[in-house]
Every structure is written in C-alpha cells, then in structure tokens.
Amino acid sequence: MYLCPVEPSPAVESVFKPVSPPTTFEETVERLGTAIRLGLLPPASRLPPERDLAGLLRISRSTLRQALTTLVQSGHLVAIRGRSGGTFVSEDPPLAASPDHEPIDAEVRAVLDERVAIEVGATVLAVERRDERDVMRLEELVERMTGADAFEDYRRADMRFHVGIAEAAHSPRLVASMTEVQGFMGDLIARIAHPEEVLMRSNAQHRRLVALLHRRDARRSVHLIRQHIEGTEHILAGLLS
C-alpha cells in the first residue's frame, strides 16, 4: 500500500534543494535515486506533486518528467494515475546495504577521473587533427545508436564512438587508453538500469559533439564532452546499488 507524502526532515529537505545546471536532468536522477537507495525517501511514500517538486528543484516540468520517467523505468519509482495517484517510491526499491554506503567508491572514482583526462584530451586533439573520414565514422555510429533495438547494440556503438574520438586524434596510445577505460566503464554501466530517456539524451550529445568536431570548435567540444561525462557520473551515482 502506498503511503502519504514524505515526512520533512533536514536530510529530506536537502534532497529537494535546487538542482544546478547544466546537468539538471542527470543530477535530478542522482539526487532522487540516491535518496531512495539510502532510505531518505521511504518505500511506498509519495513524492510532492509534479508542479511543487519542479519548483523546489528549480527545474522545468519537462526535465522533471524525464527524470521521473527514468526512475520509473529503473524500478525506483512507480507512477499511479487517478485522483489518489501520483509518483511513489517503489515498495521494493534498490536500497543501499547500509546508510553509509557510497556507490562511487575510490576505485570507481579513479576510473571516472581517468576517463575525464583521456576523453577531454582526445577531444582536443580530435578537433585539431580529424579528417572527413573520422567525422563520417562518428556520424555512422550516432545513427547506429539511434536505430539500436537492444541496449547491447547501443552500448557497442557507444563504446566504439568514444574510441572513434581517440582515433580522430590520430594517436595510437590514446586509442589504447580509451579502449581500456571504455572497458572499465562498460563494467560499471552494466550494473545499472538503462532507461531509454538516458540513452536518447546521451546520443543527442554525441550528435552535437560530431557537429562541433566538424566545425573544429575546440571550446564548445571540450565543454560538451565534459558535460557528457559529468552526466554519466550523475546517472551512475543515482542508479548504482
């Protein structure tokens, strides 16, 4: 049976503080997913109404809906229609083993930090060195992700895309490093749900990055790949159990 709204407390209030741009969608997923996993939002409790919650987080209602849809698809939330409906924490959500559990531990953080260094560096060099064939290969991989019917197909094209950025940098050592770090990322990503909303937003960033590489826009390319990586980190933090 689903319960009344979440009881207020300082910890719960921190869950509903404003979210910072530009990764508002991903940070909202992380914030709510982590609160559910740690039990700050108890099983079967009801979230605030959509309009109120969007106001508390200071995000648009469309962004909030996308985040809530992601958490419904991952099993953290349940959406119930009707007069007594709303958005509720699942009766059996993914929970942390203990209140002190941190999904992003030191080993995982080391991998994520390594990814930042490799991906940003590869992007800088790809802007400078890419040729038309590199751009065409990346465009093909974006289309392959768009048309993927299964997550496994999407993820293979996704990993190949990021390796393709290193290839566009024309640095064999960077290609080897990117391949290694993508293998580690594959192990992490395999541990979480793969909501369609997350995949669509991620691939939209891929498409924008290819356009920026084509224009040789180094500043925006670096900003976008950093935002892309940060978004992945938020999703992992919110959905890892």
212 close to 224: Cβ distance less than 8 angstroms: yes
pLDDT above 60 for 29:
yes
Residue 83 tokens, joined: 């007069």
Structural domain spans, the chain: 10-89, 106-239
Instruction: Assign 52 to helix, strand or coil.
Output: helix
DSSP reduced 3-state for 9: coil
Q: What is the mean pLDDT of residues 47-59?
A: 93
Give the pair of three-digit tokens for residue 62: 């469309």
- Give the pLDDT confidence of 104-113 residue by residue, as tens digits: 678 888 999 9
Percent helix, strand, coil in the chain, to 5, is 65, 5, 30
CATH topology of domain 10-89: Arc Repressor Mutant, subunit A (1.10.10)
Give per-residue pLDDT as tens, 157-177: 999 999 999 999 999 999 999
pTM above 0.85, yes or no: no
Cβ distance 73 to 120 under 8 Å? no
What CA–CA distance (Å, rounded) separates 232 from 128? 26
Looking at the predicted structure, is the pLDDT value of residue 11 above 80? no
With residue 88 as reference, give the H or E element that holds it: strand 86-89
Q: What is the mean pLDDT of the chain?
A: 90
Q: Which fold has domain 106-239?
A: Four Helix Bundle (Hemerythrin (Met), subunit A) (1.20.120)
